Structure 1
Amino acid sequence: MLTAAELLRIIDIHGQVAEMGLDQAGVMKLVTQTTLELVAADGAVIEIAEGDSLSYRAASGTAVAQLGVQVALMASLSGECMRRNEALTCTDAEEDPRVDRDACRRVGLRSMVVVPLMHLGQPVGVLKAMSREVGHFGPKQAELLTLLARVVGTAMYWATHYGQDDLFQRATHDDLTGVANRAMFLEQLRGALQRSRRTQQHLAVLMLDMDGLKPLNDHHGHSVGDAALVEFARRLKDTARGEDVVARLGGDEFALLMPSVSDADGVRRFELRLQEALRQPFVFRGQRHPVQASCGFAMHPADGVKAEQLIDCADQRMYESKRERKKARVDAPADPLRA
């Protein structure tokens, strides 16, 4: 029987998931990390069905190195769990005929508990806890993870449902560039801050101001200016990592959320790569046009612990960078060849 403390822990996780909104990847990461502590597991994964196999889509603990690994749907305990739609426990992977023994050995597990993840009334994957010890899991751990899995299933439903909804897309994304808008960026940033406080992981916010948009609009027309904005957003997305969030906050103002960074030097190196990608001219209707940006960044928790503090700090540094670049152009010596 579950204790009051264990039930309260599950309720707390429900609240954390609600705070994360539609960040499906973040929810899965949170759940695998929570599973380690909840059932004293060595590793935890979320496996999603893909054709005839299940793929490790989120992983924590000893399973992190196996992210992306696939196990056979018809020859694994995970597949059996999905077919029977119920929690299953393996006492010893070396003796259990239901398991994919080679996959278990690669991960280094001897016992596990697997519970189904439901989406629209159908199992689409599993949550699995692993241990190096034989017989580590029992009915209590299966019950705890079954309650936890319901949170994941619900989050997956709403993320998928609204992700396919055009009205939701228009409400949360910029019509012109297709990247997140200000409202979505703030929601993602607040969710990332919640995770950062729990995991002690640093995050960074970059503010970018696209230089020269007004002259483009004035001299070449708004069609060229719009094309420059679209190209600017594309280069941002191409340079950003898969977990990063790119947003257009309005006009020529963009932002980038990096939810996990090691240190400020790493962010500076990324900023240099980003500036190099952005400064390349783009061609529109046979004409080459310059694309440049002023940039500034702030890190949590060094520069602030709230979303607004980080945005303001990054904004101030961005405008400071813009002023320094303008001053450098004014103070630059004249080219003698043009005298």
Structure 2
Amino acid sequence: MPKLSTECASLVTKDQLLSIIQAQSDIIGGCLNLTEIMQKMATLAEHLTFASGAVVEMLDGDEMVYRAATGKAKDRLGMRLHKDKSLSGLCIKENRLLNCKNAMQDPRVDKEACQKVGLRSMLVVPLIYQQDVVGVIKVFSTTTDAFDDVDGQILMLTAQIISAAIHASIKPQR
């Protein structure tokens, strides 16, 4: 998992951190299943980064499946994309945060698909389970260059919570 830099972590506001901590507390104290946790964190990521929407995509063979979605992507829940033809797939391959500042000029993205949905910028962070990247959380905007380092740090924090929930839901019962 990408590490939070001290410099950027100090830029995350107290209110943003409190929102993340509250969401984590709600998850720990509640009886939410993994799908509900993914949806809660996608909603939080969208809100805290002022995105046009957010998705949690999980790897299923050679495809990425939308398991949670908000904003402009809400009606695309369950959508499947080939991992080798997406920024999310590249994020999985490289196991690092990726920032697409302008989807119309970035060779890593499917420009036609972005144009159909009206996406102009994206930020993607890997989800880790036992050292393997199993999915991503992505926020996107209808404007170019919408996300900065602070947004990246916020998305990494939300990814860590989702990764912990994945681990908790998959670990063997004794």
TM-score when normalising by structure 1 = 0.47
Structure 1 stretches lacking a partner, 5+ long? 168-339
For 1:50, give the aligned amino acid: D
- Structure 2 CA distance, aligned partners of 1:31 and 1:87? 17
Structure 2 residue 27 is the aligned partner of structure 1 residue 13:
no
Instruction: Give the letter for the 1:100 counterpart.
Output: D
Identity of matched residues, %: 36
Partner of 1:26: 36
Q: 1:119 pairs with 112, 126, 129, which one? A: 129
Q: Secondary structure at the match of 1:46?
A: strand
Instruction: Answer yes or no: is the 8 Å Cα contact 1:53–1:70 preserved in 2.
Output: yes
The answer for the alignment partner of 1:139 in structure 2 is: 149
CA-CA distance at 1:68 after TM superposition: 1.6
Query: Which residue identity is paired with 1:28?
Result: M
Query: Is the 2:45–2:154 contact (alpha carbons within 8 Å) kept by the matching residues of 1?
Result: no
Partner of 2:125, secondary structure, is strand
Aligned residue number for residue 56 of structure 1 = 66
Two-structure CA RMSD over aligned residues (Å): 1.4
What SS does structure 1 have at the residue aligned with 2:161?
A: helix
Could you say which residue in structure 2 is the equivalent of 1:105? 115
TM-score under structure 2 length normalisation: 0.88
Is the contact made by 1:117 and 1:150 (CA closer than 8 Å) also made in structure 2?
yes
Say how many residue pairs are matched: 164
Q: Which residue of the partner structure matches residue 2 of structure 1?
A: 12
Correspondence list, 1:273-284, <5 A? none
SS of 1:135 mapped into structure 2: coil
User: How far apart, in 2, do the equivalents of 1:5 and 1:93 lie?
Assistant: 30
The amino acid of 1:108's aligned partner reads G
Which one has a bigger Cα radius of gyration?
A: 1
Q: Is the 8 A contact 2:97 2:152 kept in 1?
A: yes
Select the structure with the greater relative contact order (CA < 8 A; seq sep ≥ 6). 2
Q: Give the structure 2 partner of residue 196 of structure 1.
A: none
SS in 2 for 1:58: strand
Q: 1: CA distance between counterparts of 2:110 and 2:57? A: 14
